[in-house]
Amino acid sequence: MNVIPAVHAEGLVKTFGDFRAVDGIDLHVDQGEIYGVLGPNGAGKTTTLKMLATLLSIDAGTAEIFGVDVRRDPHRTRQLLGVTGQYASVDENLTAMENLWLFGRLQGVASEKARRTAADLLGQFALEEAADKPISQFSGGMRRRLDLAASLITRPPLIFLDEPTTGLDPRTRGQMWDTIRGLVADGCTVLLTTQYLDEADQLADRIAVIDRGRKVAEGTPDELKTSVGNSTLQLQLTSPGDQDDAASVVRRLLGEEPVLSPESGRMNVALEDADRAADVLIGLREAGIGITSVSVDKPTLDEVFLALTGHDTGADNDELELEAAR
């Protein structure tokens, strides 16, 4: 059987003035998989998605959705995908039911059938009680679910999810993950963007890590995580002057180079196995190096980033900018 990829893009470029928001990204997503695009704010994830969804023009490169050229044939492309954005794109003036009916009707679903499908989807997303309520009374999680439901009304074979769980509480996030897994079980292909390694890890079959408009790594979640170890030992040394000694202890015991923050006397060590933390601690005690705090954590996006790009995600700055923008 002649199977085509759901998404095939080569050398995508988007520039805003002098700023290259997307700078030559290749993506290949097979049918039936969940593909995660991981990166911090401003890395170019949303811009990439918008180009593939015909919402932004493609400045250079090629993109095909199920073999359809996105640039040459935007109308066909739009018939093959559903887009759920970062912020709920549903109509505030309509009820949940009216929203779904509207999007069904706009895509040529007969009125009665649109109503039935809408009712089914509201049930599936636990929104039936809110069906006739105005969206303004909806919680963030409910809006997000309605937004996703609105993308599914014509059952497109490809779904784009732009940061589907950003801003949701942990319980709602878990529900969203289950819903996304359900989509793939139904035969959908999902391309999602996220800032959370954890989320990509839970959901995605394959991940692309994006930084400053470029793809810096691609692989399964396990492959990415082993590049930074399965967990991280974080140490605060009593006196920052001991750093070099401490680093040599780590090298001797684990054969790994620790990541040092000289000003603060902090040291991060990637661990294949959380058990090895004890070896490092004993080694430091024997070398007479004091520590004030210690923790073992799963690697975060920041550490994956640091390992892959040599700089951090700048997440703190983004948070501040977001605050300022509000």
Partner 1 sequence: MSTTTAPAPTEAHVPEQRRLTPEDVAARTSPRNSVRETVSQTLTMAWRSTKKMRRNPEQFFDVIIQPLLFTAMFTYIFGGAISGDVKSYLPIIIPGILAQTALTACMAMGTQLREDMDKGVFDRFKSLPIARIAPLAGPAVADVIRYVIAATLTILVGLAMGYRPGGGVGGTVAGWALTIVAAWSLAWIFTWLGTIARSAQAVQGISMMIMFPLSFMSNAFVNESTMPDWLQTFVKVNPVSHVVTAVRDLMNDGHLTADVGWALLGCAVVVAIFAPLSVRSYKRHL
Minimum distance from residue 150 beta carbon to partner 1 (Å)? 7
Q: Edge-to-edge, what's the strand order for the sheet holding 266-271?
A: 259-261, 266-271, 231-237, 291-297
Minimum distance from residue 180 beta carbon to partner 1 (Å)? 15
187 vs 44, 68, 95, 132, 220, CA distance in Å? 28, 19, 29, 30, 20
Query: Nearest CA to 66 among 9, 10, 4?
Result: 4
CB-wise, 1 or 170, nearer to partner 1?
A: 1
What is the per-residue burial (b if ≥16 Cβ within 10 Å, else e) of 233-246? bbbbbeebebbeeb
Minimum distance from residue 21 beta carbon to partner 1 (Å)? 15
Sequence-distant (6+) residues with CB within 8 A of 263 are 240
Length of the chain: 326
Minimum distance from residue 61 beta carbon to partner 1 (Å)? 17
Minimum distance from residue 122 beta carbon to partner 1 (Å)? 13
CB-wise, 111 or 292, nearer to partner 1?
A: 111
Minimum distance from residue 134 beta carbon to partner 1 (Å)? 8
Minimum distance from residue 13 beta carbon to partner 1 (Å)? 17
CB-wise, 2 or 18, nearer to partner 1?
A: 2
CB-wise, 166 or 230, nearer to partner 1?
A: 166
Q: Edge-to-edge, what's the strand order for the sheet holding 81-84?
A: 81-84, 158-162, 189-194, 34-38, 206-211, 214-219
d(CA 254, CA 269): 9
Asked if residue 124 lies in contact with residue 118, where contact means CB atoms within 8 angstroms, the answer is: no
Q: How many CB atoms lie within 10 A of CB 55?
A: 15
CB-wise, 93 or 264, nearer to partner 1?
A: 93
Minimum distance from residue 212 beta carbon to partner 1 (Å)? 24
How far separated are the first and last CA of the chain, in Å rounded? 52
CB-wise, 187 or 262, nearer to partner 1?
A: 187
CB-wise, 76 or 266, nearer to partner 1?
A: 76
DSSP 295: E
Find where tokens 């170890």 sit: 229
Q: Which residues bind partner 1 (CB under 8 A)?
A: 1-4, 31-32, 53-57, 66-68, 73, 75-76, 78-83, 85, 87-94, 98, 102-103, 105-108, 120, 134, 150, 154-155, 157, 184-187
Sequence-distant (6+) residues with CB within 8 A of 199 are 36, 165, 173, 177
Minimum distance from residue 106 beta carbon to partner 1 (Å)? 5
d(CA 324, CA 310): 27
CB-wise, 184 or 291, nearer to partner 1?
A: 184
CB-wise, 19 or 87, nearer to partner 1?
A: 87
d(CA 188, CA 26): 21
Tokens of 78: 């739009």
